[in-house]
Structure 1
Amino acid sequence: MKLIHTADWHLGQSFHGQERHVEHRAFLDWLLDTLVARRADALLVAGDIFDVVNPSLRAQELLYDFIVSAHERLPGLDIVLIAGNHDSGNRIELPAPLMRRLRTHALGRVRWLDDGDLDAERMLVPLSDADGETRAWCLALPFLRPAEVTGASLAREATDEQAPNDYVAGISRVHTQLIEAARARREPGQALVAMSHAHLHGAAVSEASERPIVIGGEESISAALFPDDIAYVALGHLHRAQQVGEARIRYSGSPLPLDFSEVAYPHQVVEVILDGETLVATEALPVPRPVAMHRVGPAPLEQVLAELEALEDDPELSRDRWPWLEVRVELEAPIPDLRARVEAALEGKSLRLLRLERRLPRIEGEDAPARVDLESLGPRKLFERTWADRWGEPPEAEVLADFDRLCQDVLDAEGELTS
């Protein structure tokens, strides 16, 4: 059977204040055509479907229009969606009863039975071939928030070695129980396919665009959680497409660059072919880029202006297809009219300048802190700097862990309030 693995759509993303609905619509149209052309049996979407826990109506419309269109063109297609750390698990599951009528399964949160065991059955999704026969089981594991996998029942089971990191121990427990349930459920010849939204040890992250998935450095998990009888592991969260250790364990990556730092590497979905219980082949299917992205610099101003003049221009493009542009200028001294000079170089060109970064030289012995871009710095680094300025030394690991848990509580509260 044939699967298409994708993740990290981030529908509704605001890109430096600009909407990207045209790009997302173009990607979903391409994906639908690809599913039809490749005669796919199932589509796996490994989390971060939306960019925020409270997505706009237009972003939700993109998703549901796609699901309806996919069912109309491919009535036998199974679609499995899981929530990522950007998603509200409750929101993802809210229309689940309706989506099941369209052969779409949405998993947003894990649940526990009265006896303390994982409710694994609801997370096992049968995947059928063109003849309607179940050929694989998808272990659909949404992003695991600490509150869902830690607590009294876990603490009773944890060893002294596990106790300092209940979160990782809880993740291990969920994986173990879900895999045991899948093994008991499947019949000979049926493959096991795991889908997860997580950060695996050793995987490469993007320069600036991925939000830390949970508390501090505790979020990364081991690929050893996926034993050899799992034929394929479809991962989401990291935007760079990659395999982790083995060809069967893969991040599809985001289909579109979500930051200028992601422009240089390819974006794709992954075609997965199974034969019985075995992975036969994977193929990366490059996603066309509906709107180009240009990153100029960092370089001195004169060189930057020359590069801007040399940028190719297509006057036939509609405005919503004009390329996005980031300009980074290295300065020896402040230039008050820098933006005006950059915009003059772009006069008449079909380009949209989204970000202009000024890089001033560091002066040895300078006591004043360098200016920073708060958007790229993020709350954790800002907290570390503020603490160090106040107390004269960086915060200890325990302080950072408390801060990270507080941030996680805020994110979880947002999800509850908006779902």
Structure 2
Amino acid sequence: MRILHTSDWHLGQHFFGQTRQAEHVAFVDWLLNLVVEKEVDVLLIAGDVFDTGTPPSYARELYHHCLAELSKLKVQCVVLGGNHDSVAMLNESSGILARLNITVVPGLMTDPMEHVIPLHNRQGTQQAWLCALPYLRPRDLVVSQAGQTQQQKQAQLLDAIQQQYHSIKLLADQQAKRLPIVGTGHLTTLGASVSESVRDLYIGLLDAFPADAFPDFDYLALGHIHRAQRVAGSEVMRYCGSPIPLSFDEAQQQKKVLLVDLLANGLVDVTEQEIPEFRHLMSLKTSLAELPKQLENLAQKASKQWPAWLEIRVDSDAYLSDLQPRIEALTAELPIEVLRIRREHQGSQEGLAQIQEQQLQELSVEEVFSRRLALEELDEAQREALVLLHKQLLESLVVESDEL
């Protein structure tokens, strides 16, 4: 059978005030064509279907449209909740979707057998079992105790996640009848590379789960990390990444989905399928002198239908009051929309002192954090781990506020 592994659609995302609706519609159309072309039997969405717990109406409509079209194609679908998704919202339509051969697992279920799902090909023959585990919220797994240290809380949570995986895998083993078993997860896994230089993190994080603590699956379909990659070099543990770049630092990534081929004796092959770039995103670091030529070159990668979205970082030590009008004049006749303008200091000053020379509105939360971090004496692995944890904490705050 053939499984299409996807994750982190983030339907409904707003990007510096811009909607991603056109890109998501284009992705869904491309995905439906791919399902037909590659004769896919099962579609997995490994969490973060939506960007917030209260997505806009177009995002909900697109979600249901996509699933309805897949049902017409006799493709089985499994939708898993992620840390950005609302359990209650995903659960609203799960009963109706179940009649269309679509299983929604929004969160940790009361009955453990609801996480053990038979997977069928388009002819209706069962070919595998799925241990369908979504994002596991700490509050569903552990109860904090007075006097616990951060390390004790961390150990308690990681142990609870491991027990959850092994208990669900045991239930699947009891049902397996020599069929392969696929696992899922929406979490940060130690051994996942967070940069193009393929550096692995081996530092304790509250939300990070050791790769060797997973049970043995024939394939493990992971979500939450937005760049497609193997975990710790494994062929069977994979992140597929997000289908569109969700931040400027993802702009240079080639986005992918994964085609997973299984036979009765296990995994046969995993094929990376590149997703077209619907809209060109770029973070451009330049000088005012070089900017006009660079904008002309970038305009060739865009169109009126798909204008390029830019972040422009201008090298300048002085505050330029007319910087934005200058850039607006340069891009007025080009298929380019500048979403953020920042000044990059050429001097050697570091840390928080540099912030005082810039207006607060020019800096993001991440930039303030990174400049404060620069003052600390840390090795590279520790620095990367803290940046990742800061990002996860910000995401959790956004989700919790959406669910209030």
Structure 1 length-normalised TM: 0.81
Find the aligned partners of 1:276 and 1:222 in 2 and give their Cα distance: 28
Instruction: Check if 1:171 corresponds to 2:156.
Output: no
Find the aligned partners of 1:405 and 1:249 in 2 and give their Cα distance: 21
Give 2:254's aligned amino acid.
Answer: P
Instruction: Check if 1:322 corresponds to 2:307.
Output: yes
**Secondary structure of the corresponding residue to residue 311 of structure 1:** helix
Instruction: Check if 1:350 corresponds to 2:335.
Output: yes
Residue 182 of structure 2 corresponds to 193
Residue 97 of structure 1 corresponds to 95
Q: 1:40 to 1:354 in 2, by over 3 A?
A: same
Residue 242 of structure 1 corresponds to 229
Q: Is 1:309–1:345's contact at 8 Å kept on the other side of the alignment? A: no
User: Please, which runs of 5 or more residues in structure 2 have no aligned partner?
Assistant: 146-150, 197-203, 377-389
Where do residues 10-409 of structure 1 align in structure 2 (5 Å cutoff)? 10-72=10-72, 74-75=73-74, 77-112=75-110, 119-151=111-143, 165-188=155-178, 190-205=179-194, 217-228=205-216, 230-244=217-231, 245-296=233-284, 298-313=285-300, 317-319=303-305, 321-362=306-347, 364=349, 368=353, 370=355, 371=358, 376-378=364-366, 381=369
Deviation at 1:140, TM superposition (A): 0.9
Range 231-240 or range 321-330, more displaced:
321-330
Q: 1:380 to 1:322 in 2, by over 3 A?
A: closer
Range 133-142 or range 198-207, more displaced:
198-207
**Secondary structure of the corresponding residue to residue 327 of structure 1:** strand
Deviation at 1:217, TM superposition (A): 2.5
Q: Is 1:90–1:109's contact at 8 Å kept on the other side of the alignment? A: no
Range 287-296 or range 101-110, more displaced:
287-296
Count, aligned residues: 374
Q: Is 1:206–1:238's contact at 8 Å kept on the other side of the alignment? A: no
**1:110-155 Cα distance to aligned partner (Å, 9 max, x none):** 134xxxxxx3200111111233111111111110111001038xx8
Residue 3 of structure 2 corresponds to 3
Residue 391 of structure 1 corresponds to none
Find the aligned partners of 2:245 and 2:352 in 1 and give their Cα distance: 37
Deviation at 1:373, TM superposition (A): 6.1
Deviation at 1:171, TM superposition (A): 0.7
Find the aligned partners of 1:366 and 1:19 in 2 and give their Cα distance: 33
Identity in percent? 32
**1:183-218 Cα distance to aligned partner (Å, 9 max, x none):** 111112x110111101000212369xxxxxxxx921
**Secondary structure of the corresponding residue to residue 29 of structure 1:** helix
**1:279-315 Cα distance to aligned partner (Å, 9 max, x none):** 000111111122222332x222212232113333479
Find the aligned partners of 1:96 and 1:246 in 2 and give their Cα distance: 33
**Secondary structure of the corresponding residue to residue 49 of structure 2:** coil
Find the aligned partners of 1:365 and 1:232 in 2 and give their Cα distance: 45
Find the aligned partners of 2:311 and 2:396 in 1 and give their Cα distance: 34
Give 1:165's aligned amino acid.
Answer: A
Q: 1:333 to 1:194 in 2, by over 3 A?
A: same
Deviation at 1:58, TM superposition (A): 1.0
Deviation at 1:379, TM superposition (A): 11
Q: Is 1:334–1:360's contact at 8 Å kept on the other side of the alignment? A: no
Give 1:255's aligned amino acid.
Answer: P
Structure 2 length-normalised TM: 0.84
Q: 1:412 to 1:379 in 2, by over 3 A?
A: farther
Q: Is 2:9–2:50's contact at 8 Å kept on the other side of the alignment? A: yes
User: Please, which runs of 5 or more residues in structure 1 have no aligned partner?
Assistant: 113-118, 156-160, 208-215, 389-402
Q: Is 2:184–2:221's contact at 8 Å kept on the other side of the alignment? A: yes
Q: 1:416 to 1:13 in 2, by over 3 A?
A: closer
Q: Is 1:206–1:261's contact at 8 Å kept on the other side of the alignment? A: no
Find the aligned partners of 1:38 and 1:254 in 2 and give their Cα distance: 20
Task: Give the CA RMSD over aligned residues.
Answer: 3.0
Find the aligned partners of 2:77 and 2:131 in 1 and give their Cα distance: 13
**Secondary structure of the corresponding residue to residue 349 of structure 1:** coil
Q: 1:272 to 1:336 in 2, by over 3 A?
A: same
Q: Is 1:231–1:277's contact at 8 Å kept on the other side of the alignment? A: no
Q: 1:326 to 1:416 in 2, by over 3 A?
A: closer
Find the aligned partners of 2:263 and 2:120 in 1 and give their Cα distance: 13
**Secondary structure of the corresponding residue to residue 256 of structure 1:** coil
Q: Is 1:256–1:267's contact at 8 Å kept on the other side of the alignment? A: yes
Find the aligned partners of 1:379 and 1:345 in 2 and give their Cα distance: 27
Q: Is 2:52–2:399's contact at 8 Å kept on the other side of the alignment? A: no
Find the aligned partners of 1:327 and 1:365 in 2 and give their Cα distance: 21
**Secondary structure of the corresponding residue to residue 283 of structure 1:** strand
